[in-house]
Amino acid sequence: MKIAVVGLGYWGPNLVRNFQALPDVKRVMGIDKDETRLVKAKQRFPDLETSACLDDALRDDDVVAVALATPVSSHYPLGKKVLESGKHLWVEKPFTAKVSEAESLIELAERKGLKIIVDHTFIYTGAVRKMKEIVDSGELGEVYYFDSVRVNLGLFQHDVNVVWDLAPHDLSIMDHLLRERPKSVSAVGSCHVGNDLENVAYLTVFFENNLIAHFHVNWLAPVKIRKILIGGSKSMIVFDDMENSEKVKIYDKGVEVKTKEGVYEMLVQYRTGDMRSPKLDQTEALSIATAHFLDCVKHNKRPITDGISGLNVVRILEAAEKSIKQNGKEIKLHYHD
């Protein structure tokens, strides 16, 4: 079977490399309007079939799936074509530029009996898979908050702000780990350089039962920070992606309320036990994701990061954008079910 990869800029070649490595994949086709990119890709991947036109892939019966590594604005129109031509769809994050677009692609795929996978790559890393294990085990007790920081001196996207660029990583991790339905969003941000796109932003996501999630994304930080804190009643997780090893630490820290000096204050009795840092699988996340996608296609399974999880992220991004324009005004999230 054959896979087509559309967009051979920065990320596309990684998809080509990983799809080529899969035993089930006979051939990979690379598609890009930019001729020079096609040449470069051909040099790096001699076996790569190339074309400037998506239709060549859609007409090709051997092509079972098409991967879109193109700007988010193109995800809906191209994704629609892909699904209508009866091919399974791989889409880079974020899934789409609008909730409505995500919903119609999901609806279309269901009608056609096709799979959609959104490339929330982090979900397939050893670190997140280990955290998922821990959260699902109930070891954290009641989850109180999810706090994420993703900042560095980084690329400025021309077409999306820092929220659409960086937050999808952490929003998808939150959605995957907590599996809770958010009620509303409050977000703020600011723009300091060139265009009108925010380069620093802070998102808050509200849930039932006082569960709260917060995200700090920044393209203009002097140091690189990639850190997630998850606080629970029984224990807490720190995920520091900048650590060479020991990226995930689980703190056996529980909270017990106790009064001290009579009425004057309550003391959070931290029942602190050991900390442990579990060994993490080092397999490249993208190779796991690509293999998982083919497995879902072949055996008609639902991808872990399917259209719904892509939609969950876009729903928050869209609300965050509205909220930022109103300096933090709470925006309710709507669900059609």
Asked whether position 257 contacts a copy of itself by CB under 8 A, the answer is yes
Stretch of 21-29, 99-107, 109-117, 253-261 lying at the interface with a copy of itself (CB under 8 A): 253-261
Q: Which residues contact 99 (CB under 8 A, 6 or more apart)?
A: 311, 314, 315, 318
61, 137, 244, 335: which one binds a copy of itself (CB under 8 A): 244
**11 interacts with a copy of itself by CB under 8 A:** no
CB 303 within 8 A of CB 116: yes
| 172 lies in the binding site for a copy of itself (CB under 8 A) | no
The three-class DSSP label of residue 167 is helix
Instruction: Give the count of beta carbons closer than 10 Å to the beta carbon of residue 178.
Output: 17
Other CB atoms within 10 Å distance of the CB of residue 47: 9
Residue 106 CA to residue 114 CA, distance in Å, equals 9
| Calpha distance 165→118 (Å, rounded) | 15
Query: Least CB distance from residue 335 to a copy of itself, whole Å?
Result: 18
Give the β-pairing of 143-153 and 220-232: antiparallel
Q: Does 334 bind a copy of itself (CB under 8 A)?
A: no
For residues 192 and 336, which CB has a smaller minimum distance to a copy of itself in the complex?
192
H/E stretch holding 117 reads strand 116-119
The CA distance from 237 to 71, in Å, is 34
Instruction: Decide if 151 contacts 216 (C-beta within 8 A).
Output: yes
Of 62 and 281, which has the nearer Cβ to a copy of itself?
281
Determine if 153 is a binding residue for a copy of itself (CB under 8 A): yes
Describe the crossing of helices 99-112 and 75-84 by its angle, rounded to 10 degrees. 10
- 173-212: which residues touch a copy of itself (CB under 8 A)? 184, 186, 188-195, 200, 202, 204, 206, 210-212
Which of 54-62, 131-139, 155-163, 301-309 is the region at the interface with a copy of itself (rule: CB under 8 A)? 155-163
Q: Segment 39-68, which members bind a copy of itself (CB under 8 A)?
A: none
Residue at token pair 């990979």: 28
When the beta carbons of 211 and 297 are compared against a copy of itself, the nearer one is 211
* Interface with a copy of itself (CB under 8 A), residue from 80, 178, 241, 328: 328
Instruction: Determine the Cα–Cα distance for residues 153 and 329; give it in Å rounded to an integer.
Output: 28
- How many residues at the interface with a copy of itself, by CB under 8 A? 79
| Size of the chain in residues | 337
Q: In the beta sheet, which residues pair with residue 184?
A: 206, 332
User: Binding mask 270-309 vs a copy of itself (x if CB under 8 A, - otherwise)?
Assistant: x-xxxxxxxx------------------------------
Residue 137 in the binding site for a copy of itself (CB under 8 A) = no
**Least distance (Å) from a copy of itself to the CB of residue 268?**
5
Of 118 and 248, the one with the shorter C-beta distance to a copy of itself is: 248
Instruction: Report the C-alpha gap between 314 and 309 in whole angstroms.
Output: 9
Q: Is 242 in the site for a copy of itself (CB under 8 A)?
A: yes
CB of 176 to a copy of itself, least distance (A): 21
User: Which residue, 294 or 324, is less far from a copy of itself as judged by CB?
Assistant: 324
